[in-house]
């Protein structure tokens, strides 16, 4: 276990400091910050000369997806951060064979990262976490397949194979080549009859992707296996089947709220070979974050993510682990990892799901009328802001396709690309929208979530099989009365789960 602390700016997606270079401003859109070539050159020359002075330069050859897969892409990252090297070793396929792929294809994504803190500077480094928050800049040049990140050590801003490559740049490559790079988990679900199907689901960061990907079903006879918990690359094959790979090799999960009750598989996965970032720690070296209170006595001494020593029973409002603290661990350690999680051909997707944090007004589950309506549901996705973004508060924000921070080109063109996926020769997956986070008038969750989400998935998969268990409503197809396994939910709460209007 390695525990690292970052008490300075740089523990969330720096959306306002994330830029895209396009020749014309309108080519990008309002969901990303556009910058002109001349302005980007000015910003780069203001930051990068001598930025690594006195530091070690690391060269990282890596593959996103199984090496040699027709769905995979490769890249090279230059960095002066050992933290980045260690995390990239877990999150990507870092291997000498990547050089062979580059030699044969002549194509790779170029990634440059610097903490922006040369040893010759007078800047004070706190807790061994060098960074330069005043000059943080994450720039993307899609046409050149180039990413340059300066000043931040946050995973999404420094592990450039992750969101920068696997979503922003890969999204542009996918547009050019006719496939999809999406902010989605991939899971397999096997029903009591032994019938297996694969699902891809998009939720904003910190909205439960990892919990769903590693779900422990509360209904006997069901089985869930994980292919990926964050990103899906999907392409229709020659038979018209949408096939998906997980381009990552590890999990970079949100720690707070994760425990043996909410996600026992994630807890088992991160018990070895794991890098923890901004968590708390007990005096004798055990991990701690909010959600693990039951594992320790109230008088346990905790070293918080800021380095303060407090008792577990301390009622301070300050969290002992940062709300966006993370665990980074190899995917092959997951006890329910699917045997085909590294299949170079990918797995066949039967259903796509969109969802976000909506305290009112949105039902537990609904199906789109068709592919176009499903694209509209995804584009209209809204969710409460979480600690994974730099926005704070409880405001409900638009997060189309759960891709708000990650769309690498004009969003109108992005929607056209989605709509263009539908072709007569293709077996289009059904599209659904879910909302685990509906609240009652007392501010309590109506739906128990976690393992009980298998009840929603059961209805979804029966829809995929063509079962007549839905009823049309103005906004989509809802479960027919008596065709949805509720169990343990009061009649009043059952009504709230499916009512269309805010109470």
- Residues marked active site are found at 207
The residue whose two tokens read 């009652």 is 440
Q: 276 - beta bridge partners? A: 3, 327
How far apart are alpha carbons 304 and 302 in whole angstroms? 6
> Shortest CA distance to 427 belongs to which of 300, 263, 268, 242?
242
CA 171 to chain centre: 15
> Shortest CA distance to 213 belongs to which of 38, 467, 450, 24?
450
- The H or E element that residue 464 is part of is helix 453-464
Six-digit token string for 363: 């039902």
| Residues 6+ away with beta carbon under 8 Å from 63 | 72, 73, 74, 75, 92, 93, 95, 97, 98, 101
How far apart are alpha carbons 346 and 69 in whole angstroms? 9
How far apart are alpha carbons 64 and 453 in whole angstroms? 30
299 contacts 233 by C-beta, under 8 angstroms: no
321 contacts 6 by C-beta, under 8 angstroms: no
Element counts in the chain: helices (H) and strands (E): 11, 29
CA 86 to chain centre: 19
How far apart are alpha carbons 220 and 150 in whole angstroms? 50
* Interhelix angle 170-177/411-419, nearest 10 degrees: 50
Q: What are phi and psi of 127, to 5 degrees?
A: 55, 35
**DSSP secondary structure of 289-336:** -TT-GGGS-TT-EEE-TTS-EEETT---SS-SS-TT-EEEEEGGG-TT
How far apart are alpha carbons 415 and 418 in whole angstroms? 5
Q: CA dist 313 to 31, 295, 298, 316, 462, Å?
A: 42, 13, 5, 9, 47
How far apart are alpha carbons 476 and 367 in whole angstroms? 6
Which residues of 402-487 form beta strands (DSSP E)?
430-434, 470-472, 477-479
> Shortest CA distance to 77 belongs to which of 69, 85, 65?
85
> Shortest CA distance to 16 belongs to which of 219, 187, 157?
157
3-state secondary structure string across 228-250: ECCCEEEEECCCCCEEEECCCCE
């Amino acid at each position: 276990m390695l525990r690292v602390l970052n008490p300075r700016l740089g523990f969330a997606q720096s959306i306002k400091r994330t830029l895209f270079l396009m020749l014309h401003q309108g080519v990008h859109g309002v969901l990303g910050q556009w910058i002109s070539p001349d302005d980007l050159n000015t910003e780069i020359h203001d930051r990068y000369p001598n930025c690594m002075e006195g530091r070690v330069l690391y060269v990282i050859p890596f593959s996103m997806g199984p090496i040699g897969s027709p769905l995979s892409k490769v890249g090279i990252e230059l960095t002066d951060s050992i933290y980045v090297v260690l995390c990239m070793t877990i999150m990507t396929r870092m291997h000498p064979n990547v050089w062979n792929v580059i030699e044969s294809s002549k194509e790779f994504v170029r990634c440059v990262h610097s903490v922006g803190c040369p040893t010759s500077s007078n800047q004070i480094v706190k807790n061994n976490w060098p960074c330069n928050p005043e000059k943080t800049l994450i720039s993307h040049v899609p046409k050149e397949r180039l990413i340059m990140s300066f000043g931040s050590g946050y995973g999404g801003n420094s592990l450039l194979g992750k969101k920068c490559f696997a979503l922003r740049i890969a999204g542009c490559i996918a547009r050019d080549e006719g496939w999809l790079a999406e902010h989605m988990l991939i899971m397999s679900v096997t029903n009591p009859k032994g019938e297996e199907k694969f699902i891809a689901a998009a939720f904003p960061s910190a909205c439960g992707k990892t919990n769903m990907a590693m779900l422990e079903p509360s209904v006997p006879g069901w089985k869930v296996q994980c292919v990926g918990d964050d990103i899906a690359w999907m392409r229709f094959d020659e038979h018209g089947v949408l096939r998906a790979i997980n381009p990552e090799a590890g999990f970079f999960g949100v720690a707070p709220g994760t425990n043996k009750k909410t996600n026992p598989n994630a807890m088992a996965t991160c018990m070895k070979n794991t890098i923890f970032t901004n968590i708390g720690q007990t005096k004798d070296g055990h991990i701690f974050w909010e959600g693990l209170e039951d594992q320790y006595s109230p008088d346990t001494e905790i070293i918080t993510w800021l380095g303060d020593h407090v008792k577990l029973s301390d009622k301070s409002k300050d969290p002992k682990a940062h709300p966006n603290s993370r665990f980074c661990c190899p995917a092959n350690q997951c006890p329910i990892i699917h045997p085909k999680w590294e299949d170079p051909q990918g797995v066949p997707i039967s259903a796509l799901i969109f969802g976000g944090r909506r305290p009112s007004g949105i039902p537990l589950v609904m199906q789109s009328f068709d592919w176009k309506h499903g694209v509209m549901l995804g584009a209209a996705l809204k969710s409460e802001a979480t600690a994974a973004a730099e926005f704070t508060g409880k405001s409900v924000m638009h997060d189309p396709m759960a891709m708000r921070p990650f769309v690498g080109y004009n969003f109108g063109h992005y929607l056209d690309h989605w709509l263009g996926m539908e072709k007569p020769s293709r077996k289009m997956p059904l599209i659904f929208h879910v909302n685990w986070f509906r609240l009652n008038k007392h501010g309590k969750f109506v739906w128990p979530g976690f393992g009980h989400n298998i009840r929603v998935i059961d209805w979804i998969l029966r829809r995929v099989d063509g079962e007549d268990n839905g009823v049309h409503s103005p906004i989509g197809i809802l479960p027919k009365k008596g065709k949805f396994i509720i169990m343990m939910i009061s009649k009043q709460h059952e009504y709230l789960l499916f009512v269309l209007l805010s109470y």
